[in-house]
Structure 1
Amino acid sequence: MESTLNAPVHKGWKIATGLALFTVLYNLGEGIISLYYGAQDEALTLAGFGVDSFIEVVSGLGILAMIGRLRRYGNKDRGRFEKLALQITGVCFYALVAGLVIGAGYSAWEQQKPETTVAGIVVSLLSIAIMRVLAGWKIRTGEQLNSASIIADGKCTMVCVYMSVVLLASSVLYELLHLPYIDAAGLLGLAWFSFKEGQESFEKSKDAAACCGHC
């Protein structure tokens, strides 16, 4: 497969592979750290952000699998494979929405208060700085390769930037005001972006299926 690709396309797939691998490794570390400190500090927004990081891992693994398949089998059934990858990502996001809404309800009912949200501030600032660059790079690479799933993965990463902003805002506000409902509001903010991203993934899956015969 690699020998049949021209140099720019071959380079594009190498870049896409590197970006997907970085996504998997970075989000794996971010997810573990977020869940650990989220549980330790009883900061549910940070814990929910950590779960989202693991969905990014799933998305990155899907991209790596797609690239490996393309190199082995070429463009045969590429649209169908991209559709499946996008649908899996969409289902994961919808599952996350349900968990976040339940968590928000629990937090509000119990008037749950994190011990501290310093870890959320640090994680969100780091995520904003890294994910913004990564998202733009993925989208440009996906456009060059005409890959709906890579573009969707880039937009998924951009949504992580928005989620990081929500995490940062809720963490800073709680650290300053210590109001009981800020953590619940942060969870609902993450749920909204997760729902929109799941919806986007399913819409993109339709586009991928439509272009199956042209990829």
Structure 2
Amino acid sequence: MDATRQQDLKKARTLQIWNVIYDVIEVVVSLIAGFASNSSALIGWGLDSTIEVISAATLGWRLHGEIKGIDKEKVKKRKKITLYVIAASFTLVCIFITYDSVTKLINQETATWSTMGLIILLVSLVVNPILIYFKRKYGKKLDSPAMLADAKDTFICLYQTVVVLIGLLLVNQFGWWMADPIAALLIVPYALKEGWEAFSKARNINLNETVK
């Protein structure tokens, strides 16, 4: 392995470590705020952050293996596992968000204002674009579909952040109780699409193919 790739791998691994640390904070704060305010959107957003923790940690494991010099077949296997983990995580969170949001629409449950939720959403608006930029940068440098998929996961979180923030403000300013579960449901189609793409890429990695 050349020195430049080794250096890029280490930088990418460090990025994933910071990603995990921030996302753990995001998960804890958003879920506490979401359950306290009965907000489907905040809970769904927190669960997507849980996916980011899982995918970032799994991707870090894959990068660490290459840094340590495991053979190419094992690197390919870790890439495949990473993409499958991302795909499965997307599917699970979509199922939960759909169930939670539809239930609240049927029962006409209203979310309350959450200052804690607002603060973590605003922080995320600053942090996530930075993470996306560097994930794409190193994903392209390392020719890593898993890292590029992880960047898309973070983009979904950014998209969610805007949607959830709008929903939170509509509930508070106009009393539109439906805005919260609808904001959560808007997350689902995009997340399903990205989950399917990650699954397709994982399926197309042939572990029996000779690595050049």
TM-score, with normalisation over the residues of structure 1? 0.91
Q: Give the aligned residue type for 1:128.
A: L
Per the alignment, residue 13 of structure 1 pairs with: 9
1:150 partner amino acid: M
- Give the CA deviation at 1:91: 0.7
Give the 3-state SS of the residue equivalent to 2:186 in structure 1.
Answer: helix
2:109 corresponds to 1:112: yes
Is 2:39 the partner of 1:43?
A: yes
Matched, 1:52 2:30: no
1:173 — aligned with what? 170
Q: Give the structure 2 partner of residue 124 of structure 1.
A: 121
State the 1:191 CA deviation: 1.8
* Contact kept in structure 2, 1:79 and 1:212, CA below 8 Å: no
Structure 2 Cα separation of the partners of residues 154 and 213 of structure 1: 28
> Cα gap change, 1:31/1:73 in structure 2, threshold over 3 Å: closer, same or farther?
same
TM-score, structure 2 as length reference: 0.92
- Structure 1 stretches lacking a partner, 5+ long: none
Q: Which amino acid aligns with 2:53?
A: V
CA distance in 2, matches of 1:214, 1:121: 48
Match status 1:61 vs 2:57: yes
2:135 to 134, 138, 155: 138
Give a deviation string over 1:97-133, Cα, whole Å, max 9, x none: 1100001111101111112143333222211211111
* Aligned amino acid, residue 78 of structure 2: F
| Residue matched to 2:147 | 150
Q: 1:72 to 1:119 in 2, by over 3 A?
A: same
Structure 1 distance, partners of 2:62, 2:179, is: 40
> Tell me, which stretches of 5 or more residues in structure 2 are unaligned?
none
How many Å apart are 1:44 and its aligned residue? Answer: 1.7
Deviations 1:156-205 (A, max 9, x none): 11121111111111112112111121111011012223212211211332
Give the distance between the partners of 1:61 and 1:37, measured in 2 at CA: 24
Give runs of aligned pairs for residues 184-203 of structure 1, distance below 5 A.
Answer: 184-203=181-200
Identity, % of aligned pairs?
23
Q: 1:108 to 1:178 in 2, by over 3 A?
A: same
Q: Is the 8 A contact 1:124 1:164 kept in 2?
A: yes
Provide the aligned length of Structure 1 versus Structure 2.
Answer: 211
Q: Residue 79 of structure 2 aligns with which residue?
A: 82
- Measure the CA separation in 1 of the matches of 2:171 and 2:205: 42
Q: Which residue of 2 aligns with 1:30?
A: 26
Mapped contact 2:58–2:82 kept (Cα < 8 A): yes
